[in-house]
Chain A
Amino acid sequence: MCLAVPMEVKHIEGDVADVEIGGVRKQIRLDLVEDKPKVGEFVIIHAGFAIRILSREDALETIKIFQDGWNLELL
């Protein structure tokens, strides 16, 4: 279950953020994240709510791990 997609924060107003990915825009709720995201950060969206914030660097950094190894270093 659980469709969740990462989207980029474009604008914030109170508990609502305008987010975008791949040319698609949506308005989502921020009730479930502790700190408000900054414009340019990414949020993981599920059912119209952000459930996690990622800075651009974090997002790209964790992805980089994938590209190179087996991730066996996680063991």
Chain B
Amino acid sequence: MGGTLNSYDALRDPARCRAVLDKIEETLQGQSLRFMEVCGTHTVALFRTGVHSLLPKNIVHLTGPGCPVCVTHEAEVAAYLEVADRPGVIIATFGDLIRVPGPGGRSLKEAQADGARVEVVYSPFDALKLAQDNPGDKVVFLGIGFETTTAPIAATIKVARESGLDNFLVMPFHKLVPPALDALLADPDMLIEGFMLPGHVSAIIGMTPYMPIAERFHLPAVISGFEPMDLLQTILLLAEMKRTGKPQVINNYKRVVSDQGNPKARAIVSEVYQPQDALWRGIGAIPGSGLGLAPAYKAHDAFEVLGITLKEVKPIPGCRCGEVLKGVMPPNQCPLFGKVCTPSTPVGPCMVSTEGSCAAYFKYQLDVAPAA
């Protein structure tokens, strides 16, 4: 794709990619490089393009908690299922959430079969239209996502308030990336040597929030795009910084990310939301890593308007999603992986989401290589 932005051909050119791969090997001289990406779309890109299969053995690609769907806590699923089951409610959601299992394995798919009204939307603005078209119902939009997605949702809530659309409600399950990175970096078992930073989250937050990674923790971190050349050049930059021992935070996605990010988007988010603690599936509570609606916007807070609270939920037995998400264990070493926990019978969300670490490993697993 790309029409007049036909850069994409250059960004996928096999010869150039091969050259970068060679350069990476030359730079590392057999030394290892354990890098983590914290973005589900990076996970998929690394596998789908075949880049993962082309990396030399000394480079270990770790998948961190970069999938906002994956980290939606069971208690949060239980809360929105409770809302879905109510009469006079239409749930509007991104398709990503439809199969995420809550307590007992129940998901929106089952709720739908039980009679809940669930609409998949591409944009939160489509949910606004739903609210306009169904004045007698409450349209509840499930607000998941990291900073990239939070901004459009905030803008939508602002429009809802300005148009007096009282039946448009949001359940804020947003998560923030920098606090999650802090939690990862603070973990003494962490063996990460560099980060591939999310491209589009960075388009909103810019480079500044990542500075502690290099300044305090002395690890290199590179904001990356999603095409094969983006991915490979990012790994090369990480390798070079490992070699020189001079870690920095680099923006390697300048065509989309400005170093300052998007101040207007951040301003709208600060107006509509305020930080709060959040529960991350498999990890637990991370302070200041979530968002709730600001007082002026409480009229659109589904929790407030519908009287919902997050209730304590028993953790899924045997599920090691937490360790997988922290990059401490690869998916295929979880005892449940591929046996009890598969895409058809997911135990934890890492397997449910199409971008979940375990689902990606399951789908793109390289236990097979075609004969040359």
Contacts and interface: CB of A to CB of B under 8 A. Distances in A.
Interface of A: 1-6, 8, 20-23, 28-29, 31-34, 42, 44, 46-49, 51-52, 54, 56, 58-60, 62-63, 65-67, 70-72, 74-75
28 contacts: A1-B67, A2-B41, A2-B145, A2-B148, A5-B1, A8-B3, A20-B3, A29-B155, A32-B262, A47-B153, A48-B122, A48-B125, A49-B123, A49-B151, A51-B148, A51-B152, A51-B265, A52-B258, A58-B255, A59-B7, A63-B10, A70-B233, A71-B237, A72-B236, A72-B237, A75-B237, A75-B241, A75-B246
B200 interface: yes
Contacts of B123: 28-29, 47-49
Contacts of A56: 4
A52 B41 CA distance: 19
Interface residues of B, number: 63
Contacts of A49: 123, 125, 151-152, 155
Contacts of B199: 2, 4
Contact of B240 (A34, A58, A63, A75): A75
B327 interface: no
Nearest to A40: B4
A42 B198 CA distance: 21
Given A33-B264, A49-B123, A70-B23, A63 B7 contact: yes
B5 A6 contact: yes
B41 A71 contact: no
Contacts of A51: 148, 151-152, 200, 203-204, 262, 265
The CB with the most chain B CB atoms within 10 A, among A4, A22, A32, is that of A32
Given A48-B122, A48-B123, 13 more contacts: A1-B148, A1-B200, A1-B355, A2-B39, A4-B256, A22-B1, A29-B155, A32-B268, A34-B264, A63-B7, A66-B7, A67-B7, A75-B237
Contact of B251 (A1, A63, A74): A74
10 A-B pairs with the lowest CB-CB distances in the bound complex, closest first: A48-B123, A63-B7, A2-B200, A62-B255, A31-B155, A49-B152, A47-B152, A2-B148, A32-B265, A1-B40
Contacts of A28: 123
Contacts of A1: 39-41, 66-69, 145-146, 148-149, 198, 200-201, 355
